[in-house]
Amino acid sequence: MARLAESLESFGLSVHWDGELTTPVGRQNVRLWVRLEGGQQLGWRSGIDGTLELVADLERVSRDHTLQALLSRLTRAYAARQALDELQQCPGAIADTPLA
């Protein structure tokens, strides 16, 4: 979750830890969440298999092109951070440039 928080903060979003979000299917516990301009909230929790699960009003997300673009950029930033972290764990790794 720390990588996700770093990625969100790199986009200027304030990250909040632990809470509940209200979605069309009811209240959902989340480990991390942000409030976007316009009041939309996005949250994440850990799945049983360790994956990150997005918690949001997915119908609303699917209609909002700006939000879709944010999630796309966030996915790329998170993946880049994860790849660099894994590379730094390799013996002889030289990747030491942090992502902004």
CATH number at residue 38: 3.30.160
Over 70: is that where the pLDDT of 55 sits?
yes
Query: Rounded to whole angstroms, how far apart are CA atoms 26 and 9?
Result: 27
Please state the domain count of the chain.
Answer: 1
- State how far the alpha carbon of 18 is from the alpha carbons of 10, 11, 94, in Å: 20, 20, 35
Residue 96 domain flag: no
Residue 60 domain flag: yes
Question: How much is the average pLDDT of 74-78?
Answer: 89
Over 70: is that where the pLDDT of 93 sits?
no
Residue 95 domain flag: no
Residue 72 domain flag: yes
CB 42 within 8 A of CB 56: yes
Residue 80 domain flag: yes
Structural domain of residue 12, as residue ranges?
Answer: 2-85
Query: Rounded to whole angstroms, how far apart are CA atoms 34 and 9?
Result: 10
Residue 33 domain flag: yes
- State how far the alpha carbon of 7 is from the alpha carbons of 15, 23, 34, 49, in Å: 10, 23, 12, 22
Residue 13 domain flag: yes
